[in-house]
Structure 1
Amino acid sequence: MAAPAAFPPPRRRRALVIHNPTAGGRRRAVLAEVVEALRRRGVTVDIQPTAGPGDATTLAAAASRARHDVVCAAGGDGTINEVANGLLRADDPPPLAVIPLGTANVLAIELGLPAAPDALAALIADGGEAAVHPAVADDRAFLLMAGAGFDAAVVHGVRRPVKRLLGKGAYVLQTLIETLRYRFPPLTVRADGRELTARMVVACKGRHYGGPYVAAPEARLGAGSVQLCLFHGGGVVAQARYGLALLRGRVATLSDVTVIEAREVTITAPAATAPVPVQVDGDAEAALPLHITMAARPLAVISPQAAPVTAPCPAPTVAAA
């Protein structure tokens, strides 16, 4: 019988894993494999499951480099968002690592994370750190996107039992439903002093949207701005065209889509319309109006796109919002 592989001492010896036990379904076995691979490498792993919304933020806000060298968010993009918000509030936050267990795992795609549990554990233990610059939607930071209008109506409409049953198919089904019933009211957008109108707005920090589909080719996680995608068309035909363009990575090239860079954005709807829903990193938020700014400090994220370094990213010293 072959002897277990011997590993050099890991760079990060203490990991806190904040785990959403409702995320992932069949992917939950991945978490056990990553944790086991970390322990084989000599990493001490503390696992903290969440009991409900907001728990991941509370747990991450209490994290400190004095106790842990890395905080791992194990769940979908919503759980990762909660952990990131907590780390931005922490006094001395460790870097963030991602163990993707969700439906779309957009941030994992954006970062180019390896799928194999052992490779992911190796990255968490010894990989480089990239500085990601979140944006803030009202008082909630986001790493990927914030949307207002049709896409947020889809997010609001998806029910958890249907999502557990159908996975990504739940969003496809809800998109068809919302295409027929959503009213597409005109939205007013003020971006760095410029005023525009649109039927749907998505502020993108990352290039990808809804999975491996590129919506904002110029967006960068480390940029101090968002790429603002304004969709001017409404109705069934326009949404079908946008969906096909998204699958082909050509949304930004459409004649009725405007993409601009901005650091401060305000989105409002006419007072006479029904409340226009908002989504942040794929989770349902409230409704317009929405004010988007850049977070006051970056967040260190473990990424295969970052060169390995011999010391952690400097801890930020300014509050996020």
Structure 2
Amino acid sequence: MLTRYALLIVNPIAGHYSKRRLHKFVHYLQQLNWHVFVEPTHFKGHGAQLAQNYINSGTQLDLIIIGGGDGTISEIAQILLGQTIPLALFPIGSANVFARELNIDFNDRRNAIMISHYCQKEIWPAIVSSDQSKTIFIQMLGMGPDGWVVHNVSTKIKKIFGRAAYVLSTFLMILRYKFPEFSIFIDGHSYKINAAIISKGCFYGGNFQITAASKQSSKNCDAILFRCNNFYKFGLAFLKLLFCKKNTDHLEIITAKEIIVPASDNIFMQIDGDVFSAKEIKISISPHPLRLLVPKNNSNNF
């Protein structure tokens, strides 16, 4: 059987990482005739550097596998936009929302088999541009209370408690967050809101579905806007989002191609579960697709 070559970039501080799990996953791939280059990350941005260095070196690669959570995936995926090398997932993060979106198997042996008998798909991530930087998100950008929650969760707490760390931070948010109002422009129209979730996917925080369908294969995204000046109103609006997914006085869902937030420096933000901040941001859809491997029986709307 022909040997194939994969680069596995793994985040050793991811919520569900262990050396034993990594070694077993690599062993499963080797049994399926993969030669695996394993590279751990050591600092933020290192994963993207590793991917770029391997691509520039001309090393034969049939696949890049990312071991980490949504933030690690977004960081490395930015390098792979428009590339012919596809991406696969080794889901070892705290929430792994993107892996759930793709219906990736969390059993590492079955995931290795899926990678070897893959179905390749194209998705269109969102680009977040500011004066300081340009980055992407594959799942979502949150502004307001969920940004506050992510800003107040430490890596150590995530490692110990996993997704429960966000629940603990949410209780603190209920007591402390003030829900300030800010402006957002969506395809040229202005809105005054207190919170927003800009989503490419349909899942949030794990298995909670917040939109009727994924926008991963579309050249647009969902802008979920909240007009809620206290947690009580926000909580009710969020419950309606989970169970009804319809517009109300405090909730509006808009399909968007371009979003501008002119004064975002005072807003708590998160991108795919990682802290983010900028003075002004523009969100648009990448002109280049990201190629990735998904199960052949993927049932989500791509």
Q: Normalization by structure 1: what TM-score?
A: 0.84
Asked whether the equivalents of residues 198 and 230 of structure 1 are also in contact (C-alpha less than 8 Å), the reply is: yes
Indicate whether 1:79 and 2:72 are aligned: yes
Residue from 141, 154, 159 that aligns with 2:149: 154
The CA deviation at 1:180 is 1.9
1:110-137: CA deviation from partner (whole Å, max 9, x where unpaired): 0001122121111212201100101011
> What is residue 226 of structure 1 aligned with on the other side?
221
Instruction: Provide the C-alpha distance between the structure 2 equivalents of 1:42 and 1:161, rounded to a whole number of angstroms.
Output: 36
Indicate whether 1:67 and 2:60 are aligned: yes
Indicate whether 1:124 and 2:118 are aligned: no
Aligned CA-pair RMSD: 2.2
Which is worse superposed, 168-177 or 158-167?
Answer: 158-167
1:195-218: CA deviation from partner (whole Å, max 9, x where unpaired): 112110111000001101111223
The one-letter code of the counterpart of 1:78 is G
Indicate whether 1:191 and 2:182 are aligned: no
> What is residue 261 of structure 1 aligned with on the other side?
255
Instruction: Provide the C-alpha distance between the structure 2 equivalents of 1:53 and 1:26, rounded to a whole number of angstroms.
Output: 17
Aligned ranges 1:1-321 → 2 under 5 Å: 9=1, 13-25=4-16, 29-64=20-55, 67-88=60-81, 92-138=83-129, 139-245=134-240, 249-250=242-243, 252-253=245-246, 255=248, 256-269=250-263, 275-305=266-296
> What is residue 314 of structure 1 aligned with on the other side?
none
Asked whether the equivalents of residues 15 and 162 of structure 2 are also in contact (C-alpha less than 8 Å), the reply is: no
Asked whether the equivalents of residues 189 and 265 of structure 1 are also in contact (C-alpha less than 8 Å), the reply is: yes
Change (3 A) 1:245 1:33: farther
Aligned length: 291
Q: Equivalent pairs: percent with the same residue?
A: 30
Equivalent position SS for 2:61 = coil
Instruction: Provide the C-alpha distance between the structure 2 equivalents of 1:251 and 1:275, rounded to a whole number of angstroms.
Output: 31
Change (3 A) 1:48 1:228: same
Change (3 A) 1:306 1:266: farther
Q: Which runs of 5+ in 1 are unaligned?
A: 1-8, 308-321
1:58-77: CA deviation from partner (whole Å, max 9, x where unpaired): 11223438511000000111
Instruction: Provide the C-alpha distance between the structure 1 equivalents of 2:20 and 2:194, rounded to a whole number of angstroms.
Output: 41
Instruction: Provide the C-alpha distance between the structure 2 equivalents of 1:68 and 1:216, rounded to a whole number of angstroms.
Output: 36
Asked whether the equivalents of residues 187 and 268 of structure 1 are also in contact (C-alpha less than 8 Å), the reply is: no
The CA deviation at 1:32 is 2.4
The CA deviation at 1:257 is 1.1
The one-letter code of the counterpart of 2:293 is I
> What is residue 6 of structure 1 aligned with on the other side?
none
Instruction: Provide the C-alpha distance between the structure 2 equivalents of 1:213 and 1:85, rounded to a whole number of angstroms.
Output: 26
The CA deviation at 1:284 is 0.3
Equivalent position SS for 1:297 = coil
The CA deviation at 1:224 is 0.4
Change (3 A) 1:102 1:79: same
The CA deviation at 1:269 is 4.1
Equivalent position SS for 2:277 = strand
The CA deviation at 1:268 is 3.4
The one-letter code of the counterpart of 2:149 is V
The CA deviation at 1:26 is 5.8
> What is residue 319 of structure 1 aligned with on the other side?
none
Instruction: Provide the C-alpha distance between the structure 1 equivalents of 2:228 and 2:75, rounded to a whole number of angstroms.
Output: 32
The one-letter code of the counterpart of 1:112 is N
> What is residue 312 of structure 1 aligned with on the other side?
none
1:74-93: CA deviation from partner (whole Å, max 9, x where unpaired): 011111111101223x8x45
